[in-house]
Copies of this chain bind each other. A is one copy, B any other.
Amino acid sequence: MGTLKEDAYIKIREGIVTLKFKPGQWLHDTELSKLFNIGRTPIREALIKLEQEGFVKSMTNKGFMVSEIDAKGINELYEVRAYMESLAVRRLSLDPLPEKIKILEDIFINIKNLNDNLPLSVRFNIGQKFHRTLIALSENELAISIMDTVYDHIERVRWLDISLNDRFVENMESHLRIIKLIKEGDTEGAEKEVKRHVFASKDSILKFFEQRKNLLYL
């Protein structure tokens, strides 16, 4: 992939994930070209790649629009996530290498106790890092590539979950339980816990989605 196209791709995708470009917003290649000071051809090629990943939709003769977010889509993202993370813990628990376990445990090393009064952004990042690391350690390149896109889609809506603060201790305990089950080689137990954990997040976000979705369009 050419450097200019890659540049354009990374910048537009980041704008979408951080909601700088809002769901439903039109993206015009001439405007993006000016904004990022990148030619229209690499911008267009980046948009085609982003369309393929579901971040934008192309409308014939109208250009590209940032893809919208709805409850059905959130549900689908979390389902795929639950099953891809199950795949990852399966692989890890079938061959629980100490160096991999250590990488997972180190994510939580600086959290002295589960009641630490951590800011919301830190809570977000720990959870995200744990899940992205699970997938990375699976070493299934296809799953890694699928989840790279899925996590970014989820990123757009995750902070709608205002109950994350309440669920932090519960989530932390669940993360540690998953590590323990992997360590013990309990594949079935680890897969079950991952699914329970991810589906609980899904239910929580969906609970708040309808009443807070307008915030995505601010």
Q: A residues engaging B (CB < 8 A)?
A: 1-2, 45, 48-49, 51-54, 58, 60, 72-73, 75-77, 79-80, 82-84, 86-87, 91, 140-143, 145-146, 150
Can you list 13 A-B pairs, Cβ within 8 angstroms, ordered by A?
A1-B51, A49-B49, A52-B53, A72-B141, A75-B140, A76-B140, A76-B141, A76-B143, A77-B142, A80-B84, A80-B87, A80-B140, A82-B87
Chain B residues closer than 8 Å to A83, beta-carbon distance: 83-84, 86-87
Could you tell me the distance between the alpha carbons of A76 and B72 in the complex, rounded to whole angstroms? Answer: 27
Number of copies of this kind of chain in the complex: 2
Chain B residues closer than 8 Å to A75, beta-carbon distance: 140
Chain B residues closer than 8 Å to A84, beta-carbon distance: 80, 83
Given the known A-B contacts A58-B1, A60-B2, are A80 and B48 also in contact in the complex, defined by CB atoms under 8 Å? no
- Nearest CB of chain B from residue A30's CB, rounded to whole Å: 18
Could you tell me the distance between the alpha carbons of A79 and B191 in the complex, rounded to whole angstroms? Answer: 14
What 7 pairs across the A-B complex have the smallest Cβ distances?
A76-B142, A83-B83, A83-B87, A52-B52, A76-B140, A80-B142, A79-B87
Could you tell me the distance between the alpha carbons of A79 and B86 in the complex, rounded to whole angstroms? Answer: 11
Could you tell me the distance between the alpha carbons of A91 and B79 in the complex, rounded to whole angstroms? Answer: 10
Chain B residues closer than 8 Å to A87, beta-carbon distance: 79-80, 82-83
- Nearest CB of chain B from residue A151's CB, rounded to whole Å: 13
- Nearest CB of chain B from residue A88's CB, rounded to whole Å: 9
- Nearest CB of chain B from residue A87's CB, rounded to whole Å: 4
8 other contacts beyond A52-B52, A80-B146, with CB at 8 A cut-off? A45-B48, A49-B49, A75-B140, A76-B140, A79-B91, A80-B87, A83-B83, A146-B146
Chain B residues closer than 8 Å to A140, beta-carbon distance: 75-76, 79-80
Could you tell me the distance between the alpha carbons of A51 and B5 in the complex, rounded to whole angstroms? Answer: 14
Chain B residues closer than 8 Å to A45, beta-carbon distance: 45, 48
Chain B residues closer than 8 Å to A86, beta-carbon distance: 83, 86
Chain B residues closer than 8 Å to A142, beta-carbon distance: 54, 73, 76-77, 79-80, 150
Chain B residues closer than 8 Å to A51, beta-carbon distance: 1
